[in-house]
Amino acid sequence: MASTVRIIFFGTGGSWPSPDRNVISIGLQVDSEVLLFDCGEGTQRQMMHTNMSFMKIKRIFITHYHGDHFLGLAGLIQTMTLNDRKEPLEIYGPSRTVDILTNYLSLGYYSLTFPIKLYELEGGETLDFGDYTISTLKVAHPVPTLAYAFKEKDIPRIDKKKADKYRLDSKILEKLRKEGEIIHNGKRISIEDVRGGIRIGRKIVYSGDTAPIKEMEDFARDTDILIHEATVESSLEEKANQYGHSSARQAALIAKNARVGELLLVHISPRYKNTSSIEKEAKAIFPRSRVVRDLEEVVVKVRKNQGSL
Ligand SMILES: [Zn+2]
Ligand SMILES: [Zn+2]
């Protein structure tokens, strides 16, 4: 389990950039690894205003190929090349990822200094990356679009008293947690001998662009943080739904039914200079809601009150 999980919002606006909000991009740092969800134009410069390094991006997850969600990719990748990146970069996205990105990333004169691996997803997958998984859900938008769920794996919690009995230091405990069983001073010790319950991994869900859908409630069930689009307020929701978008009211209803820890609203239409009406209607339904701003950082803590196995 990671010691640090934090989110930085590089862009929180929808459709096109405005003086108040860049188009959408969300960074998720898991210890020293950075995952990027969407990459609207200008994302790399937004990152440079923060302490989350663009060179540490290991995987990028694109929700869909509307410009406000991916047009920052080519610039970011060319800058990585100019900084002599060698690490492979993985990019995941919905159907047509290979076709669209192969064309888009071949624009202009530059030679990559690192390999890019492209992966196409249909929705419904769970990808295992060791300490965490990424699951996908097909959502309701006019073009193929995915929502993503990051989930840290649950790990056994150690009972200190039991561990002290065997004289296990933290390094050996970590090995025991990983391997389930070790030989220590000639004695076989199982994780069950020192287990004191379970530490539930953190979960974060990002909706992408979507009209409200029932499936999101299951997908986001009990998530610590739901980042959901709220393009407009409820007075405009009928039209927004036709275009595959949600209102703040509808996002809040999903958060409430899914019993999430916190609802963070993004993809705000550039028509709103002031977002208090959006936030107010979400809070009326789900009090732990708010509209996030560009460059805002959220540290995701491990939940307390975790039950035993
Ligand atoms: Zn969008
Ligand atoms: Zn879109």
DSSP class per residue in 65-110: -SHHHHTTHHHHHHHHHHTT--S-EEEEESTTHHHHHHHHTT-SS-
What local confidence, expressed as pLDDT, does residue 117 receive? Answer: 98
Is 15 in the same domain as 150? yes
Pick the ligand that lies closest to the CA of residue 66: 2
Pick the ligand that lies closest to the CA of residue 244: 2
- How far is ligand 1, taken at its centre, from the CA of residue 34, in Å? 22
What local confidence, expressed as pLDDT, does residue 308 receive? Answer: 41
**Domain boundary residue, one of 142, 176, 197:** 197
What local confidence, expressed as pLDDT, does residue 167 receive? Answer: 86
Domain count across the chain:
2
**Bridge-partner residues for 198, per DSSP?**
156
The answer as to whether 136 is a domain residue is: yes
Is 68 catalytic? The answer is yes
**Domain boundary residue, one of 164, 197, 230:** 197
Is 49 in the same domain as 173? no
Is 110 in the same domain as 218? yes
- How far is ligand 2, taken at its centre, from the CA of residue 126, in Å? 23
**Domain boundary residue, one of 132, 166, 197:** 197
Pairing verdict, β 297-299 and 262-266: unpaired
- Cα(26)–Cα(43) distance, integer angstroms: 9
The answer as to whether 237 is a domain residue is: yes
Is 78 in the same domain as 183? no
pTM above 0.95, yes or no: no
Is 107 in the same domain as 209? yes
The answer as to whether 49 is a domain residue is: yes
Is 177 in the same domain as 60? no
From the list 38, 68, 224, 294, the catalytic residue is: 68
The answer as to whether 65 is a domain residue is: yes
What local confidence, expressed as pLDDT, does residue 295 receive? Answer: 98
Contact between 260 and 222 under an 8 Å Cβ cutoff? The reply is: yes
Is 172 in the same domain as 31? no
- How far is ligand 2, taken at its centre, from the CA of residue 67, in Å? 8
DSSP 8-state symbol, 181: E
What local confidence, expressed as pLDDT, does residue 304 receive? Answer: 67
Q: The dihedral of CA 76, 77, 80, 85: what is its sign? A: positive
Is 150 in the same domain as 129? yes
The domain of 279 spans 5-154+200-299
The token pair at 113 is: 């200094």
CATH number for the domain that contains residue 293: 3.60.15.10
The answer as to whether 223 is a domain residue is: yes
Is 11 in the same domain as 137? yes
Is 40 in the same domain as 56? yes
The answer as to whether 178 is a domain residue is: yes
The answer as to whether 308 is a domain residue is: no
The answer as to whether 70 is a domain residue is: yes
Is 122 in the same domain as 188? no
pLDDT in tens, the chain (309 residues): 778 999 999 999 999 999 999 999 999 999 999 999 999 999 999 999 999 999 999 999 999 999 999 999 999 999 999 999 999 999 999 999 999 999 999 999 999 999 999 999 999 999 999 999 999 999 999 999 999 999 999 988 888 888 888 888 888 888 888 888 999 888 899 998 998 888 899 999 999 999 999 999 999 999 999 999 999 999 999 999 999 999 999 999 999 999 999 999 999 999 999 999 999 999 999 999 999 999 999 999 987 655 443
- How far is ligand 1, taken at its centre, from the CA of residue 17, in Å? 11
What local confidence, expressed as pLDDT, does residue 307 receive? Answer: 46
The token pair at 229 is: 């689009």
Pick the ligand that lies closest to the CA of residue 64: 2
- How far is ligand 1, taken at its centre, from the CA of residue 162, in Å? 52
Is 145 in the same domain as 220? yes
Helices 97-104, 73-82: inter-axial angle, 10-degree rounding: 60
Backbone angles phi, psi at 57, to 5 degrees: -65, 125
